Homo-oligomer: A and B are copies of this chain.
């Protein structure tokens, strides 16, 4: 059996009792290590191993995409746990892993957990007032895609909030090293709310003014969230241009672009407004 187990958002103890029981009985335990990181333990795999009383194998993008057979081999006759930060079905590649398991006649089971897609409710906005979620990529000097703006604007025109997931680069191959024929990895990078706000503001330049006029501008309210679910969670609400100057500290961050507010949403957001 292949168990895909959500770890929740932050702490070791965010795993469910069911998930922990399964991990303890599995022969091998893999931790998916590229679509997200567990805030309080990501740099200290030993903490996880102590908590589970198990060896934990890191599964990076290359391994899950090209060497998934290793994970699946053990699941044919035994029990394998594949741990995913948040809920196991937030990222496409895990669907892919399930499909490959099914092709090989391997049974699977999902143990759900919180993900930022529902935990974002902690800022006071109602989940059913959110439109489509967007991902904002880390721009480089020559690569500045802004297609996320279309979705933000489409949501905003319908009065809906937008959850913006911010880019994470973990174990990305270094271009510089590749050009020298070597394999080396860039240090991990986590996009912050100030960078996201800055990219959104810069994106206005690429749009026709009539697309955003009266819908979104630099003073539109947004909500920055950092380390949701942890004891040092931080939530700040302010205008986009002000968010550029806010530092919410350590990762992970996400940003919400506000739609129309219900009075209860407004009351709760007032707690976080700068």
Q: Is A193 an interface residue (CB 8 A)?
A: no
B114 touches A114 (CB 8 A): yes
**A223-274 interface (Cβ within 8 A of B):** 228-229, 262, 264-265, 267-268, 271
Chain B residues in 8 Å Cβ range of A134: 128
- The contact size tier of chain A is 35 or more
1/0 contact string of A83-99 vs chain B (CB within 8 Å): 00011011010011011
Q: Is A215 an interface residue (CB 8 A)?
A: no
A119 touches B87 (CB 8 A): yes
A114 touches B122 (CB 8 A): no
A268 touches B99 (CB 8 A): yes
**Contact flag A121-B90 (CB < 8 Å), given A9-B112, A114-B112, A132-B131:** yes
Q: Is A11 an interface residue (CB 8 A)?
A: yes
26 example contacts (A-B, Cβ-Cβ < 8 A) are as follows: A8-B112, A12-B17, A14-B16, A14-B112, A16-B17, A17-B20, A87-B118, A90-B127, A95-B264, A95-B267, A95-B268, A96-B264, A99-B267, A112-B114, A112-B119, A112-B122, A113-B114, A114-B118, A117-B117, A117-B118, A117-B127, A118-B118, A128-B133, A128-B165, A130-B133, A131-B132
